Amino acid sequence: MSPSFADQTLEVRDLVLERGERELFHGLAFKLDSGELLQLAGRNGSGKTSLLRVLCGLSRPLQGEVLWNGQSLSAQEDGPAAHLAYLAHLNASKEELNAEENIRLSSALQGRNIGREEAWEMLGQLDLRGFEDLPVKFLSQGQKRRVALAKLLLSARPLWIMDEPFAALDVQVIQVLKACMEDQLKRGGMIVLTTHQAVPIEGPQQTVTLGDAR
C-alpha cells in the first residue's frame, strides 16, 4: 500500500550558488509544504540541476541553507537524503542487471524490501511488461528512463526530486507518470521538478524561475 505523508516542509533560505566561479543566483528562498509541487523554471544553464543537487545534499551552496522539517540537511538524524528520492539526468541503473533487479537493489539500498510481484506490477504500469528480465543495457533510452522512474515511484519517500522527468518518454507513459505524481501530492508528498516540457499536474503548486546566468 502507498504510504501517506503529512506535515512536512522543505525550505530554502537565502541561497547563493556558484559554479565554476560564476554566480548562478543569490538570495533564493522558497518554502514547500506537504502535498505541494514546485517547478523550477529557467533557461539552459540557469542553475536548475545545480539547485536540485543542493536540495539532495550532493553539493553545498556558497551561502544559505536547505531545511527539511525545520532542520538543516546536515543535521538530519538519518542522513541528508533519507527523506527523498532523486531522478537525475543519468538513470543510475546497473546496466548488467535487469529491470527487476535494479528496482529491488535500489529499494534495498533505501532499506525497503520490494518483492518480485510489486516490482513487476510497477514495470507493467510503465509499459515494460516482457522486458523485466532483460539486462538494462539492452533497453532503449526511453525504456531505461522508465526503469529509473520505477525506482523513484517505489521509493516511498515524501520528497521526489525530478530532473526532466518527462524527457524521452512516450505520451502514454507521460500520462502514467502524471497520475503517479498527482497521487504523490494527494498523499501529502512533495515534488520538486525541472522540465522544459509543459505537462499540467493537478494539485497545489508554485514556480520558481532562476535567472539567466549567461
Ligand X SMILES: Nc1ncnc2c1ncn2[C@@H]1O[C@H](COP(=O)(O)OP(=O)(O)OP(=O)(O)O)[C@@H](O)[C@H]1O
Collapsing DSSP states into helix, strand and coil, what is residue 116? Answer: helix
Type and span of the H or E element at 16: strand 9-19
Yes or no: say if 96 and 137 are a contact pair by the CB < 8 Å rule: yes
Type and span of the H or E element at 51: helix 48-55
Select from 35, 47, 57, 61 the one that contacts ligand X (CB under 6 A).
47
Select from 34, 46, 125, 184 the one that contacts ligand X (CB under 6 A).
46
Beta strands in 42-92 (DSSP E): 63-68, 71-72, 84-87
Collapsing DSSP states into helix, strand and coil, what is residue 18? Answer: strand
Task: Check residue 198 for interaction with ligand X (CB under 6 A).
Answer: no
Task: Check residue 19 for interaction with ligand X (CB under 6 A).
Answer: yes
Task: Check residue 44 for interaction with ligand X (CB under 6 A).
Answer: yes
Task: Check residue 165 for interaction with ligand X (CB under 6 A).
Answer: no
To the nearest whole angstrom, how small is the minimum distance from the Cβ of residue 30 to ligand X?
16
Kindly write out the interface string for residues 48-67 of this chain, putting x where it contacts ligand X by CB under 6 A and - elsewhere.
xxx-----------------
Residue 79 grid coordinates: 542522513
Total number of residues shown for the chain: 214
**CA separation for the pair 168, 145 (Å, rounded):** 7
Closer Cβ to ligand X, 48 or 145, answer by number: 48
**CA separation for the pair 94, 85 (Å, rounded):** 17
Single-letter amino acid code for the residue at 39? Q
Select from 7, 20, 70, 113 the one that contacts ligand X (CB under 6 A).
20
**Site size with ligand X, rule: CB under 6 A:** 12
To the nearest whole angstrom, how small is the minimum distance from the Cβ of residue 163 to ligand X?
7
* Piece of the chain touching ligand X by CB under 6 A; list 38-46, 62-70, 102-110, 124-132: 38-46
Single-letter amino acid code for the residue at 24? L
Closer Cβ to ligand X, 69 or 206, answer by number: 206
To the nearest whole angstrom, how small is the minimum distance from the Cβ of residue 43 to ligand X?
7
Select from 30, 33, 39, 45 the one that contacts ligand X (CB under 6 A).
45
Nearest-CA neighbor of 143 among 98, 112, 101?
Answer: 98
Closer Cβ to ligand X, 53 or 104, answer by number: 53
Closer Cβ to ligand X, 158 or 165, answer by number: 165
DSSP secondary structure letter of residue 20: T
In the complex, the residues that contact ligand X under the rule CB under 6 A are 19-20, 24, 42, 44-50, 213
